[in-house]
Chains A and B, each alone.
Chain A
Amino acid sequence: MQVLYFAWMRERIGLPKEEINTNAATVADLVDELKGREERYAAAFADMAAVRVAVDQELTDMGASLEGVREVAFFPPMTGG
């Protein structure tokens, strides 16, 4: 699936998106997998209270299932307007 990062999460991880092959069942499982990869991921996901997630472009939560999902995005709380 495509995994996208925005704002300071993009800066900390160092890329806007990447293709990830994973067996993670939920968003939380994917986060754990990413955190175990490299320090920059661990740093980006250090404070989960400051991380929001969208699955296939719909806001959801860390418990969301990844079954059949094409796109997951991680980003800080939104600051539009």
Chain B
Amino acid sequence: MTVSVQAEDFDLGAEMTAITNGRADIGAVVSFTGLVRDMPGGSEMVLEHYPGMTEKALEKIESEARARWVLQDCRIIHRYGPLEAGAQIVLVLAASPHRQAAFEAAEFIMDFLKSRAPFWKKEAGSGWVDARDADEAALDRWA
């Protein structure tokens, strides 16, 4: 399984090893890790999601990335529940024979994940986080 939606933390090194172990045909693995930033008014946040749809939405994004680039492997982990400042939220790994495909696929996955996967952030101090127009606009470059 290449998509996980989980409360537990994840280990970048272990996920990287799981992709590269025992094979020598991969030329590049790009990883993106999203973290909870320390925000004024409180650093804790809660991530709500839509169990069932979340996994489907992430699998769809992954399959779209695989259709656009030559990817030898791909891994998406997204956490939910209460998360403190500094905590890891999301991990995307894209493996390809060449770096450009790996970089672009990781960016594509993150861009779509931000506004097409059913997650909602609530910050302890300021309440529900508003979606940013920039996140929606970021999708246009992949059109």
Chain A residues proximal to chain B, CB less than 8 Å:
4, 6-8, 54, 57-59, 73, 75-81
A80-B114, A81-B90 in contact; A4/B50 too (CB < 8 A)?
A: yes
Q: Judge whether B50 and A81 touch: CB under 8 Å.
A: no
Contact with A along B99-120 (1 / 0, CB 8 A): 0000000000010011111111
Q: Judge whether A79 and B116 touch: CB under 8 Å.
A: no
Q: Judge whether A6 and B118 touch: CB under 8 Å.
A: yes
Provide the main secondary structure of the chain B interface: mixed
A7-B122, A8-B128 in contact; A80/B52 too (CB < 8 A)?
A: no
B140 smallest CB distance to A (angstroms): 16
Can you report 13 residue pairs joining A to B where beta carbons are below 8 Å apart? Answer: A4-B50, A8-B127, A57-B50, A58-B53, A75-B118, A76-B120, A77-B136, A78-B120, A80-B118, A80-B120, A80-B121, A81-B89, A81-B119
For A79, the chain B residues whose CB sits under 8 A away are 114-115, 119-121, 128-131
Interface residue B56 (Cβ < 8 Å from any Cβ of A): yes
For A8, the chain B residues whose CB sits under 8 A away are 127-128
Contact count A vs B, C-beta below 8 Å = 73
Other A-B contacts than A73-B53, A75-B50, 17 sampled, CB-CB below 8 A, are: A6-B120, A8-B127, A8-B128, A58-B53, A58-B56, A59-B57, A73-B118, A77-B115, A78-B114, A78-B116, A78-B119, A79-B121, A79-B129, A80-B114, A80-B119, A81-B78, A81-B89
